[in-house]
A and B are shown apart, each in its own frame.
Chain A
Amino acid sequence: MGSVSLKHTMQTNHTILPSRFTFNQLDQVLNRLWGETVAHTAVTQPFPTDTAVPVDLHEDQTHYHAHFDLPGVRKEELSVKIQKGILEVSGTSQNGQGNYSQSTSFKRELLLPEDAVSDDITARFENGVLHLAVAKATAPQPKTITIN
């Protein structure tokens, strides 16, 4: 990390479908609080587990950890993509049988921190919770600008 202070810019773009409530307010809260104290104060109310995808973010010395609550979703219904530093978890889940069959789509995006190594990610899906571990770069990568 060196002299560069570590910024936690894992922002959230909530585009959960279908959504019973909008996340605009939540995003404002997150943007304001995203810093040292966001973890404890941002969101404490329970989410409707059947429509929204709540996320927990942690870090340790070597990795960022993201947990997504996805009860009832099958592993094969899940898709995890990374593009331009944005991590996207999405899928369509089938519930019920026959006439009572219902499908729910969900999508959640996270902007990865600058020191996240996007090609070093492990994913595990267990008990309806998706755990992604994103490696941190071992040393800050200084940008060299060539002077012509």
Chain B
Amino acid sequence: MNHASPTDRFSTPAYRLNEQETTYQAEIILPGVARENLEVRLEKDVLHLTGKRTAYPETWRPLHREIPSANFRLGLRLGREVDSSRITAELRDGILKLALPKVIPAIPVTRAIEVN
């Protein structure tokens, strides 16, 4: 039986990145990955992502396979302009949407300083 999802095999998921005015957006294609089997972890400036596909019951006999059974792994290095404290993630219908907000530039404040 070679159809059990091997936990030690990983592939890089397909993903899309796009930039908007205040945020970067990443869409990572993760079909078959349930929320509880997805781990997103920020380590220094790298966002690590590991997703495990739901395996088929072992009693099922495979007749034909096209869907790659490997699990997903991806590391995204974030630039300095990403505010890592405000990253949000949403998993829906097999796609993980990450919003990576840009650091809000400090607004230069002009202020008169009183001289005593």
Contacts and interface: CB of A to CB of B under 8 A. Distances in A.
Nearest to B91: A127
B59 interface: yes
Given A50-B14, A67-B67, A129-B32, A58 B61 contact: yes
Given A72-B29, A74-B93, A128-B31, A56 B65 contact: yes
Interface string B91-104: 10111000000000
Interface residues of B, number: 29
Given A69-B31, A127-B32, A127-B34, A60 B11 contact: no
Q: Main SS of the interface on chain B? A: loop
B63 A128 contact: no
Contacts of B59: 60
Given A49-B29, A69-B32, A128-B31, A56 B64 contact: yes
B70 to A, nearest CB: 9
A72 B94 contact: yes
B22 interface: no
Contact of A57 (B18, B33, B62, B93): B62
Interface residues of A, number: 38
B3 A46 contact: no
B60 A60 contact: yes
> Which among A12, A71, A129 has the highest number of chain B CB atoms within 10 Å?
A71
Nearest to B68: A46
Given A55-B66, A69-B67, A39 B3 contact: yes
Contacts, number: 109
A49 B14 contact: yes
B31 A70 contact: yes
Contacts of A123: none
B33 A127 contact: yes
Interface in A45-77: 46-50, 54-60, 64-65, 67, 69-75
B63 to A, nearest CB: 4
A70 to B, nearest CB: 7
Interface of B: 2-3, 11, 14, 18, 27, 29-34, 54, 56-57, 59-68, 91, 93-95
Interface of A: 8, 10, 12, 30, 34, 38-40, 42-44, 46-50, 54-60, 64-65, 67, 69-75, 100, 126-129
